[in-house]
């Protein structure tokens, strides 16, 4: 089994794990084993479509976005609801990275290592948020959540170009815009620990979006596609949301968006 195939098989095993804490620890173990050259995959793991993707716990209950409760920052419960929502996003992001790593064969080795790094950092983010949620007297699963991010992952499961275009560089890029005002709300509410966690997440998410941008550009070059025209076509085909401001243009620039792309957000 090649190193890429071993890594993909290990990612699949972790992807179908349902316990968030076990999944997060598993990602770290895969990353360390890969770095040490000691990665071995379970021979029983098949690199094929299988049930149970993504592995997730029975709770939180998933509801339409409009049915997720309101988050008032002047109460502990309200702040906990926001932290819970962020933890759910990061848990989904772990699965997203593992799926990107496992699902698409025949990519360069650097692609798989990039997405392994993303999975490791997303698992760290989830762990930070879940631990902070505990200090507020709650646990992941105590509130409802929605599944919008994973729905786009599922829709693009057969097209790596669409996946890179519409998940990291579209949906995840919205996080670059959303984090600063959320951080300000939490800091104003006196939750300095949560604000510090969001600083870490924003720093790392710039790199994650940059990875999406890099591999989208690489794929377009390999296939002779015009990046701008292809992106516009994919947005229509997959009914992707059109980003709305205000935009964090500095973070988007650091993440590799071109001046032409940023001009659309002005």
Residue 1 has pLDDT above 70, yes or no: no
Q: Residue 201 and residue 128: Cα distance in Å, rounded?
A: 10
**Is the separation of the CB atoms in 245 and 175 below 8 Å?**
no
pLDDT at residue 149, as a whole number: 86
Q: What distances in angstroms separate CA 242 from CA 63, 90, 235, 246, one per listed residue?
A: 22, 21, 8, 13
Residue 205 has pLDDT above 70, yes or no: yes
Q: What would the pLDDT profile of 233-252 be if each residue is shown by its tens digit? A: 999 999 998 888 899 999 99
**Is the separation of the CB atoms in 81 and 71 below 8 Å?**
yes
Q: What would the pLDDT profile of 143-175 be if each residue is shown by its tens digit? A: 999 988 899 999 999 999 999 999 999 999 999
pTM, two decimal places: 0.94
Q: What would the pLDDT profile of 226-237 be if each residue is shown by its tens digit? A: 999 999 999 999
DSSP three-state, residue 109: helix
- What structural domains and CATH numbers belong to the chain? 3-263 (1.20.1260)
Torsion angle, alpha carbons of 204, 206, 175, 23, to 10: -40
Q: How many residues does the chain have?
A: 266
Residue with tokens 């050259």: 37
pLDDT at residue 46, as a whole number: 59
> What's the mean per-residue pLDDT of the chain?
92
Which region, left, alpha or beta, applies to residue 159 given φ > 0 means left and ψ of -120 to 50 means alpha? beta
Which of 78, 238, 84 shows the shortest CA–CA distance to 170?
A: 238
């Amino acid at each position: 089994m090649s190193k890429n195939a071993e890594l993909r098989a290990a990612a699949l095993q972790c992807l179908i794990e349902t316990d968030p804490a076990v999944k997060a620890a598993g990602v770290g173990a895969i990353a360390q084993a890969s770095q040490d050259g000691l990665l071995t995959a379970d021979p029983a793991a098949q690199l094929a479509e299988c049930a149970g993707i993504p592995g997730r716990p029975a709770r939180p209950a998933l509801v339409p976005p409009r049915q997720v409760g309101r988050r008032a920052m002047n109460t502990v419960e309200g702040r906990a609801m926001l932290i819970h929502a962020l933890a759910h996003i990061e848990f989904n992001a772990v699965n997203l990275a593992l799926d990107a790593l496992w699902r698409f064969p025949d990519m360069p080795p650097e692609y798989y290592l990039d997405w392994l790094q993303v999975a490791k950092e997303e698992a760290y983010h989830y762990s930070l948020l879940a631990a902070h949620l505990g200090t507020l007297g709650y646990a992941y699963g105590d509130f409802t959540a929605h599944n919008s991010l994973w729905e786009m992952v599922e829709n693009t499961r057969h097209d790596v170009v669409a996946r890179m275009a519409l998940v990291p560089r579209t949906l995840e890029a919205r996080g670059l815009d959303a984090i600063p005002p959320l951080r300000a709300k939490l800091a104003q509410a006196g939750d300095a620990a949560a604000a510090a966690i969001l600083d870490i997440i924003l720093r790392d998410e710039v790199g994650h979006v940059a990875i999406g941008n890099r591999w989208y550009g690489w794929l377009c070059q390999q296939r002779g596609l015009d990046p701008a025209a292809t992106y516009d076509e994919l947005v229509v085909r997959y009914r992707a949301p059109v980003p709305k401001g205000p935009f964090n243009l500095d973070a988007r620039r650091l993440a590799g968006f071109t001046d032409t792309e940023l001009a659309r957000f002005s």
